[in-house]
Amino acid sequence: MKTLCCMLLLLVSSVAASPVGDLTLVGQGRMSWLFWELYQARFYSESGHYQPGQYPQALSLRYQRNIDNDDLITATVEEWQRLGVEWKREWPGQLAKIWPSVRTNDELVLRVDEDGTSRFYFNWQLVGSMGDPDFAPAFLAIWFSSDSRNPGLTRKLKGG
């Protein structure tokens, strides 16, 4: 009985430690620009299928290049503008407090919980959250919009 309790405790703690431990991989792919690979992306959901607005979900980005957090935030805002996504002026400042600069092989994970809270993990450690339920759909639109910058990656992330 003691062994079973220890095994259950280990299982629960390992799931809690991973922002994707209780989710199923839906799809994955790579984002490149010109000759450079920027990141590897993976998308997870509870059902194992892409269903917009059905949380929990997680998007994992493993970076293949060094990128300053200012550049990550600028690229995010530019994509929102390009896609015509409604975004709030306070979001870039909030992201600046959460996102670090990334180096090769660093991983940034967005996990959206059932209540719409967006939690960011950097190399599997929680670094901050966005409580605004409008944030997650706007952020995920960068990868899942029909006008995404990389339609092939969008198809792969959706499991296609």
- For residue 31, the domain's CATH number is 3.50.70.10
| Interatomic CA distance for residues 25 and 38, integer angstroms | 21
Closest Cα to residue 57, out of 9, 115, 130, 126? 115
Q: How many domains does the chain have?
A: 1
φ, ψ dihedrals at 109, nearest 5°? -120, 130
Cα separation, 72 vs 69, in Å, equals 5
- The model's pLDDT over 31-81, given as tens digits with 9 standing for 90+, comes to 987 778 999 999 999 999 999 999 999 999 999 999 999 999 999 999 999
Q: Is 0.85 surpassed by the pTM of this model? A: yes
Query: How far is residue 20 from each of residues 3, 24, 82, measured CA to CA in Å?
Result: 26, 8, 29
Helices (H), the chain: 2-17, 69-83, 90-98, 135-144, 151-157
142: domain range? 2-157
